[in-house]
Amino acid sequence: MDIFCYPFARGRLFLEQEIDKNQYSNAQQCFWASGTALIVRKKIFLESGAFEEIFFSHMEEIDLCWRLQAMGHEIWVEPRSLVYHKNAVSLPMNSHKKYYLNHRNSLIMIFSNYSILITLYLGSLRLILELIACMYTLLKFDFNHFTGIVKSIIWILLHPLQIIKKRSRFKKIKRVSDKQIMRMLTKDSIVLQHYFFRKKTYLEIVSK
């Protein structure tokens, strides 16, 4: 994930998906693990607060992994595991609700999981990126995506108490500084890297 809370995966960046050539067959520490293939001890899961109910669907596992790291735990990928997952069954690809939840839940994380000064700085930049995304979707006549983004921003503006309560829950379990957690995040915007600088793969994004 990048510092603006846009998630991506090894082998997949937005709609770009790499051919598996065993380039990611190494166990490695990561920022988040997919909820379709996630194992966590029950005791730690409950101590972290479990999944946030306000998320409903999408990115709830990323928020969980963030909280686990804030508690001092690590997230690792194990390529030897084998999982079969049918994609986009709960919510079809390109559906309005899927766009809405992806954007809204990502915004919830950026406004509730960082310390207040970082939240104000990165949150403001993220809202600018959301406005750019709105213009982009209008140019493509993708009204499902456009209305999903607009609805997500409206939700954030109308639910400050929900954000404050989540920030309070996060603060109670936090043992690790933002600086340490952010070492696991990509410092560049993957949106700009992908759509403006035309980087198509995970390796192009993270390689310096």
**Rounded average pLDDT over 56-77:** 96
123 band by pLDDT with thresholds 50, 70 and 90: very high
Name the least confident of 31-40, 80-89, 138-147. Answer: 80-89
Tell me, what's the pLDDT at 106? 97
Tell whether 3 is covered by a domain. Answer: no
Structural domain count of the chain: 1
Tell whether 2 is covered by a domain. Answer: no
What's this model's pTM, rounded to 2 decimal places? 0.92
Tell whether 7 is covered by a domain. Answer: no
Tell whether 37 is covered by a domain. Answer: yes
Distances (CA, A) of 27 to 9, 19, 24, 31, 76: 14, 19, 8, 13, 7
The parent domain of residue 132 ranges over 12-206
Tell whether 120 is covered by a domain. Answer: yes
Tell me, what's the pLDDT at 161? 97
Tell whether 68 is covered by a domain. Answer: yes
End-to-end CA distance of the chain: 16
Q: The tokens of 166 are what? A: 């989540």
119 band by pLDDT with thresholds 50, 70 and 90: very high
Tell me, what's the pLDDT at 208? 57
Tell whether 4 is covered by a domain. Answer: no
Tell whether 136 is covered by a domain. Answer: yes
In the chain, what's the furthest Cα-to-Cα distance? Answer: 48
Query: Angle at the Cα of 77 (from 75 to 83), degrees rounded to 5?
Result: 125
Residue 36 φ/ψ, nearest 5 degrees: -80, -10
